[in-house]
Amino acid sequence: MYHWIDTANALADIGAHATPGSLIGLDTEFMRVDSFYPQLALLQVNLGGHVALIDPLALDGLDGFSATLSDTRNTCIMHSASEDLEALAPSVPGGIGTLFDTQIAAAMAGYGLGLSYQKLVAAITGVDLPKAETRSDWTRRPLSPEQLDYAAQDVIHLPAVHSELEGRLRALGREQWHAEDCRRMLEKSRVRDGDPEPQRHFKSAADWPREQQALLRRILLWREATARRIDKPRPWVLDDARIAEFVLRPPVDVDELFSRSKGLRALRGAQRAELFDVLQAPLEPEELDFAPIFPLPAPREKRILSAMKESVTAIATELDLPEGLLCARRHLEALVFDKRWPDALDGWRKPLLQGSLMSKLA
């Protein structure tokens, strides 16, 4: 049984069930087809067994209920929460207060890495959830009975899943590990400016001269800012292939830029003019101070990475943890090339890994 919420009074009634220390099952349905930002289309809540499907398209914000979600005394139970947190950000300006992510908890509790919600619910409760509405249009109104049931099922089972996983984490002594990773996810969700070093994802540019890498970074930062400003997907503004082309062979004038950028759905006249200036302006000295792109590992670095990987595998096996949860390969690469302990491996991972991995650099 669930309640459809599309008025402020009904939303207040649901919020009245919250008391300090509440467990709140939470999920979202959103659309992200032709925009940079996800459009929140539905918010599903399980609060003390009261299941509500909240229609943000009919409401002028979430009013006081957003404060309930931001209250650190309450715990929001979510599964694989990163995209949901992004979708919720405009409606919950303070961000979620305390998060219990069931996908992370499942990985730490021995269920495997990246487990879907459907598989986790089946493993813990024996219930097989419907999957037919996964790719529905959640902005249409009215929603079909099948959509409504699918959406409600996404939060009905969260309290039972939370109870089981919390018990397993406690038995394993990993409650603090899980809380730390959830805090990291929340902190990341509050960053609104994008990656300050986006060029590091362009592995093919590792051997470019530093000036070209700097120009690449400038264009990528411009694309990010523009996509956010006009709320359009990054590739609609400028795709990766054309970014590389423009760095290696900049257009000589606006007409050439126009002919070489046809088909980009969000690159209009004003944006083309901006882009041409971005491509043509001389590099400032401070623009040459940036993180280099990791090159393909040389034979020595391959040996070090291989040795590190073996250490991670051994430690993960001993702890019965997925290797990817303990330490991703990109963090090993960062350690090898930067010769500096990665921030991503601080916290509970550091005492488990630092001695073994740093010894491989000696």
Write down which residue in 288, 322, 344 finishes a domain.
288
Q: Are 349 and 327 members of one domain? A: yes
Query: 244 in a domain, yes or no?
Result: yes
Q: What is the per-residue pLDDT for 346? A: 97
Position 193 scores a pLDDT of 81
Q: Token match 């609609």: residue? A: 236
The 3-state secondary structure of 39-54 reads: EEEEEEEEECCEEEEE
pLDDT beneath 50, residues of the chain: none
Domain assignment present for residue 293? The answer is no
Q: Which domain holds residue 312?
A: 299-359
Token pair 């010894």 in the structure block, residue: 359
Same domain, 353 and 267: no
Q: Is 237 left (phi over 0), alpha (psi -120 to 50) or beta?
A: alpha
Note whether 83 and 143 are same-domain residues. yes
DSSP state of 184: H
Domain count, the chain: 3
Identify the pLDDT of residue 359.
95
Whether 116 and 227 share a structural domain: no
User: What are 200-246's pLDDT values in tens digits?
Assistant: 999 999 999 999 999 999 999 999 999 999 999 999 999 999 999 99
Nearest to residue 118, comparing CAs of 170, 92, 80? 80
Q: Is 74 exposed, middle or buried (0-12, 13-18, 19+ CB in 10 A)?
A: buried
Q: Do 222 and 257 reside in the same domain of the chain?
A: yes
- Domain co-membership, 229 together with 125: no
The pLDDT assigned to 42 comes to 97
Are 7 and 156 part of one and the same domain?
yes
pLDDT of residue 351: 98
| Statement to judge: residues 266 and 319 lie in one domain | no
175, with CB counted inside 10 A (0-12, 13-18, 19+), is: middle
pTM comes to: 0.93
User: Mind listing the pLDDT tens digit for each residue in 120-129?
Assistant: 999 999 999 9
Same domain, 131 and 210: no
Is 314 found in the same domain as 267? no
Using the 3D structure, point to which of 163, 189, 215 is the last residue of a domain: 189
Contact 15, 65 (CB under 8 A): yes
Question: Do 315 and 228 have their domain in common?
Answer: no
The domain boundary, picked from 170, 189, 208, lies at 189
CATH number, domain with residue 60: 3.30.420.10
pLDDT digits (tens, 9 = 90+) for 260-302: 999 999 999 999 999 999 999 999 999 999 988 988 889 999 9
Q: Can you give the CATH number for the domain in which 274 is found?
A: 1.10.150.80
Q: Within a domain: residue 294?
A: no
- Does residue 314 lie in a domain region? yes
Asked if residue 334 and residue 317 are part of one domain, the reply reads yes
Q: Angle, nearest 10°, between helix axes 299-319 and 349-359?
A: 140
**In-domain check, residue 324:** yes
277 in a domain, yes or no? yes
Predicted local confidence at residue 45, as pLDDT: 98
Residue 107 lies in a domain: yes
* 225 inside domain: yes
